[in-house]
A and B are shown apart, each in its own frame.
Chain A
């Protein structure tokens, strides 16, 4: 019996150590080199970051950045050929899929904050959004204080609903906050007057308004409630891989390649409907481009 256990321990240990002897690479880089594939996680409806086009192919701003990162990984490992697997993720599955090794890079619109950094790592910030609210022009809501006593909606499980809950409590606004399942449904609540305002990342609000039935009916408030950086997610404690990814992102920013990619998704008509979001680069994001950072501290971006 004991012999059996010992034998199997040796076999198992052998399985784990063999690749380590073969090469010095560890973590994701070793996995990518061995398998010749890298897996990107994409979202199905995070317009314009990562979403499915009319051919059910994932496209978007974050996807373009990820393909650039893949090129850099390929060059770093000196591979002739690197296959890219695409794996759909949702807000609920992205963490387990990153953790268990199914997905190597999550290319979407995930907010980088200090709590989440305990669980995963983020590369250089690829967008800076602000938390604002959309309402019908007819309801004439301009500031957070105008929301006093109103029913408002946000998407469940987001940092936005957390912030509006905190602000409401601080300012004694007596808000009736309802949580919607996803962004489309939350917007529908404003559209059907179930809620007076929808609190969310402004970039998502812009695209929701742009694709709505009558974009002219809605207005997004001016003063941001907070600032949030988006980052591409990767596994924590994998420094060699993160270094390659960070270098690739920095290179995109420093070389100016970012401008063309940004313009393509935010200042030009995008598939599938040819809508132009028309959102120029914010001052906060310009700061990131000039001085690339992966920090999840909102204060850095607010200055």
Chain B
């Protein structure tokens, strides 16, 4: 391999004239984290709502929920980003479209919405599967006790559901972080985009992507570890993920 390694490249000034390459990667990391965090809030909130709706006894609501999930789950994320970024502003009223196009950091908002909705379809599937995995008797008992349907979900079904689906939800959170890289295609300068820019400017391609890889791994290990802790804290006895406290006798 005829390649000139130069690990000191990270401390050299990048073409923006202000930051070193290392700092530009850190800026990218910040955008990645902010984008993933905001997208996850949307994904978790709307995913939970849609997931719940799909287990209610109302046929039309269930059907609408199904459509939502299939729509956002079956179209590639890249295509969704392009649709939101380039097509959406053209089909809304002209004034609104222009405002949208001239919004500062437009690619960030677009990325958050697109990624959030895409991931929400997946969260909705997890939530639905979690609710359906509960014994039917729980719902029946709650309703028989006189709880309303919203109360049944809030106090009986969902507290168990979230505990059960914690492990797959962790995966979805990690996916959200990794999928945020797709936003580079609409001009968001997140971590992968910064690594690409770094390799184009300096031609030190392996150093750039090695750094990006390590940063992604660190982020994901930290997230996984935090989610494990949370999982253990909230685990219910007798269910998945529960570890009995050390016995005192």
Contact = CB atoms under 8 A, between A and B. Distances in A.
A95 interface: yes
A120 B203 contact: yes
- Which 3 interchain pairs have the tightest Cβ spacing? A157-B200, A162-B15, A119-B203
Given A100-B2, A156-B189, 14 more contacts: A96-B3, A115-B201, A115-B203, A120-B203, A151-B102, A156-B193, A156-B196, A157-B201, A158-B200, A162-B15, A181-B185, A181-B186, A192-B90, A236-B4
Interface in A147-189: 151, 153, 156-159, 162, 165-166, 169, 176, 178-181, 185, 188
B225 interface: no
A194 interface: yes
Contacts of A99: 1-3
A273 interface: no
Interface residues of A, number: 37
Contacts of B203: 95, 115-116, 118-120
Among B16, B17, B98, B203, max chain A CB count under 10 A is at B203
Contacts of A120: 203
A226 to B, nearest CB: 13
Given A115-B202, A119-B203, A194-B101, A92 B196 contact: yes
Interface string B162-182: 000000000000000000000
Nearest to B90: A192
A237 interface: yes
A238 interface: yes
Interface string B88-102: 011000000010011
B19 to A, nearest CB: 11
A179 B206 CA distance: 22
A158 B90 CA distance: 28
